[in-house]
């Protein structure tokens, strides 16, 4: 066999091997980003010109997130935020529009204390997507309602409060010191586990909604005029 033919075969083999390695690497990157970002991956792909552009965007979010000083809350801070949230939720009974606005302000304060920059909504969403992709759609929907809250219905405002609460609790209980453990565990999950997690999130959202409705109903009942049938007591 001529030397030039041997060289040609080697060159072609190396090129094919390089292409295979590149394809495998890209596929692994795609699966990793899909697992980490969940629905946010599909949303970003739809917004970008190509899946590769979306993957670059999400990888850049990860890089930026690593540079942030994300901190877990102390026990006293969690208790303080829990009390403040209860006050905002209680205010919803009489002033639903104002309560939704205060809910977003409280959530922004929580983000800032955790170490997330709060200079702009779009950047907030990008930064939150790295660790909190599972509740990001709740944040988007609640923010949209909050922006038009003066013209929103009470039902829409109630839905926004429930969604804000979902994001609030996610940020409240998440700890930066166990990020690597949570992320590694998340990467080992298969598609079935991901679907099961989404169902749990949906069930939790419905439960939170029922609790908010119950809270409002109880407050309204306690504030109703006393009747003769109960003796004015």
* pLDDT for the residue 30: 74
If one compares 24 and 165, the residue with the highest pLDDT of the two is 165
Residue 228 has pLDDT above 50, yes or no: no
Predicted confidence band of residue 20 (pLDDT cuts 50, 70, 90): confident
Q: How high does pLDDT run on average in the chain?
A: 78
List, for residues 187-206, the tens digit of each pLDDT value. Answer: 444 444 444 444 444 455 55
pTM of the model: 0.66
How many residues are given for the chain?
A: 233
Give the domain ranges of the chain: 3-67, 75-222
Q: What is the pLDDT of residues 89-134, one digit of tens each?
A: 999 999 999 999 999 999 999 999 999 998 889 999 999 999 999 9
């Amino acid at each position: 066999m001529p030397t030039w033919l041997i060289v040609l075969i080697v060159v072609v083999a190396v090129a094919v091997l390089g292409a295979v390695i590149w394809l495998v690497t890209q596929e692994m990157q795609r699966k990793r980003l899909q697992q980490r970002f969940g629905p946010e991956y599909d949303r970003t792909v739809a917004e970008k010109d190509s899946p590769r552009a979306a993957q670059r965007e999400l990888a850049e979010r990860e890089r930026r997130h690593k540079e942030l000083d994300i901190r877990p809350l102390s026990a006293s801070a969690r208790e303080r935020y829990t009390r403040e949230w209860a006050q905002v939720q209680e205010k919803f009974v009489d002033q639903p529009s104002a309560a939704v606005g205060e809910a977003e302000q409280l959530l922004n304060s929580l983000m800032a204390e955790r170490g997330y920059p709060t200079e702009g909504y779009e950047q907030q969403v990008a930064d939150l997507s790295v660790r909190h992709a599972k509740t990001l759609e709740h944040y988007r929907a609640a923010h949209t309602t909050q922006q038009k809250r003066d013209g929103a219905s009470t039902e829409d405002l109630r839905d926004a409060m429930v969604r804000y609460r979902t994001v609030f609790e996610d940020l409240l209980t998440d700890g930066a010191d166990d990020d690597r453990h949570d992320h590694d565990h998340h990467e080992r999950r298969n598609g079935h586990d991901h679907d099961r997690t989404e169902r749990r999130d949906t069930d939790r959202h419905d439960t939170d909604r029922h609790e908010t409705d119950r809270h409002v109903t109880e407050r309204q009942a306690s504030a109703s005029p006393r009747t003769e049938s109960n003796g004015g007591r």
